């Protein structure tokens, strides 16, 4: 694989998959707050604006690698985003009416968006370590460099655990959302399946890239059969999970635990051996 392919994957493809993870988790959080607790009144335009704001985090991070962006740019970006949130919410009644108690939920939405924006930007910075290492590897691949000395120049063996932790820890808020919902919900189930598919896909692809780099650094020929089989497995897994998500009935209700326990007790009672006198 050429270095420019790694540039695309680690500057745009993988960060965008991370953005989708944060966006899906945020949607579930907003759904929980808005539907279950009735604390927010958001519309689809705000969700779309929020997604575009996260995409801008990726573009901003990549632009910062090429040019020096002034610190005040963040202030302007967030201020414009706040104004856009007020306008797209349908509550805009002039600049003087923005800072009112009626818009408290929009300000909370804005602050939450900034927090997720920084998380997405941090993920981009982590991926940038990988991209730089791949540049080093492919730039020196034709040279007679000392293996042990070259390994010390690479950051990805240290950054890889940090990347996996950051992505894996996203499962914690997912569990909290499920615990807070307290019941099976078709919307939450659908979003959870999509989230897990993207998470597995992202971790699997980055792990495959890591192993490819390990093989190249150690001058081991890449086993094409393993890479091909791994990609086929991922494709089959993703298609199966997406079909399950899209074919799931809207009124899907799994068996409650009391009915499951009752069924198990009845089965055990029927299989008990009679006492011999």
Is a pLDDT exceeding 60 seen at residue 259? no
Distance separating alpha carbons of residues 209 and 108, to the nearest angstrom: 38
Q: Which of 111, 89, 104, 118 is nearest to 19 (CA)?
A: 118
pLDDT attached to residue 48: 93
What's the first-to-final CA gap in the chain, in angstroms?
77
* Arithmetic mean of pLDDT, 50-67: 89
pLDDT attached to residue 62: 87
* Arithmetic mean of pLDDT, 184-211: 83
φ and ψ at residue 13, rounded to 5 degrees: -65, -60
Calculate what percentage of the chain has a pLDDT beyond 90: 17
pLDDT attached to residue 149: 54
Distance separating alpha carbons of residues 195 and 19, to the nearest angstrom: 11
pLDDT attached to residue 180: 82
Instruction: Please state, rounded to an integer, the average pLDDT across all residues of the chain.
Output: 76
> 68-103: per-residue pLDDT in tens?
877 778 888 898 998 898 888 877 776 666 777 777
Distance separating alpha carbons of residues 231 and 229, to the nearest angstrom: 5
> 154-191: per-residue pLDDT in tens?
767 778 888 888 988 998 888 888 888 776 677 888 88
* Arithmetic mean of pLDDT, 207-216: 76
* Backbone torsion region of residue 219, taken as left when φ is above 0, otherwise alpha when ψ lies between -120 and 50, otherwise beta: left
pLDDT attached to residue 54: 94
DSSP states along 208-235: HHHHHHHHHHTT----HHHHHHHHHHHH
């Amino acid at each position: 694989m050429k270095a420019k392919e790694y540039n695309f994957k680690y500057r745009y493809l993988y960060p965008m998959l991370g953005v989708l993870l944060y966006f899906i988790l945020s949607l579930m959080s907003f759904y929980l707050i808005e539907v279950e607790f009735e604390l927010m009144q958001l519309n689809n335009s705000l969700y779309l604006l929020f997604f575009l704001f996260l995409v801008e985090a990726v573009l901003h991070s990549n632009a910062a690698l090429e040019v020096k962006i002034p610190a005040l740019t963040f202030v302007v970006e967030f201020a414009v985003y706040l104004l856009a949130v007020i306008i797209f919410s349908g509550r805009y009644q002039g600049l003087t009416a923005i800072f009112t108690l009626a818009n408290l939920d929009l300000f909370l939405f804005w602050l939450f968006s900034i927090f997720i924006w920084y998380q997405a930007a941090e993920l981009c910075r982590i991926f940038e370590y990988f991209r730089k290492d791949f540049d080093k590897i492919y730039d020196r691949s034709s040279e007679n460099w000392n293996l042990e000395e070259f390994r010390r120049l690479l950051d990805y063996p240290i950054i890889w655990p940090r990347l996996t932790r950051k992505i894996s820890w996203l499962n914690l808020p997912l569990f909290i959302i499920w615990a807070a919902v307290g019941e099976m919900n078709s919307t939450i189930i659908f979003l959870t399946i999509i989230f897990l598919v993207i998470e597995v896909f992202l971790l699997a692809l980055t792990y495959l890239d890591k192993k490819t780099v390990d093989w190249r650094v150690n001058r081991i020929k890449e086993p094409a059969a393993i890479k091909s089989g791994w990609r086929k497995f991922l494709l089959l897994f993703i298609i199966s999970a997406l079909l399950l998500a899209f074919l799931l009935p809207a009124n899907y209700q799994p068996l409650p635990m009391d009915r499951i326990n009752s069924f198990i007790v009845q089965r055990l009672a029927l299989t008990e051996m009679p006492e011999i006198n």
